Amino acid sequence: MNTIPVITLDGPAASGKGTVAELVARELGFHYLDSGALYRIATLAALKAGVDPADSEGLTAVAEKLSPVFENGRILLEGEDVTLAIRSEEVSRATSKVAVVPGVRRALFDLQRRAARAPGLVADGRDMGTVVFPEAPLKVFLTASARVRAERRYKQLTARGETADLDLLTKDLEERDRRDRERAEAPLKPAADARLLDTTEMGIEEAVKKVLDWWTTAR
């Protein structure tokens, strides 16, 4: 495990970590892990199964049975393409509640660790550097103001033809941030040796270049 180079990018929702991580992985020829997708998949599966978000045991049981397939940019769950479904606002709102369940986090931990394969991995999430890959030689924590992150989310939703309210999105992100920071297991916080990257007034290309520069130094 320690021979596989890993870069972790953690941060709150809509901070840009997914886009930056994917582009960095592409530039380096590394594999890419969207850990948030796993939690979204678990959430969607629970919603489909009618499991109450307050039912920790039920949510854990669902997570333990997950066997998603990542194929050519698509995500398949039990043969169904859920690539777009896991990005719905309903799933987005519920995911942060599902993600605080210790049993769910334990069930998905092994799936995430197994994603580290040669020649390397770029992993984004909320606890990649603090919990899942604490040995990673480069850990980055991305952040941005809640309003800017809400605006990014608003553009994503409207581009898909979904209706959205910017003020409500801002409040929702602030509440999700609070839950993520205050959860008992693997709270959202930068690793002690993480590099901080504020993307509030930064474009994607600039953020990608910064991470690549840090990687050149780290290795």
Model pLDDT for residues 18-37, shown as the tens digit of each residue: 999 999 999 999 999 999 89
Residues 107 and 66 sit within 8 Å (Cβ to Cβ): yes
Mean pLDDT, rounded, of the chain:
92
Contacts of 105 (CB under 8 A, 6+ apart): 99, 185, 186
pLDDT at 161 over 90: no
Binding residue positions for ATP: 11-19
The pLDDT of residue 1 is 53
The pLDDT of residue 73 is 79
Q: What does pTM read for this prediction?
A: 0.83
Domain spans of the chain, in order of start? 6-218
Q: What is the architecture of the domain spanning 6-218? A: 3-Layer(aba) Sandwich (3.40)
Segment holding 25, helix H or strand E: helix 17-28
Binding residue positions: 11-19
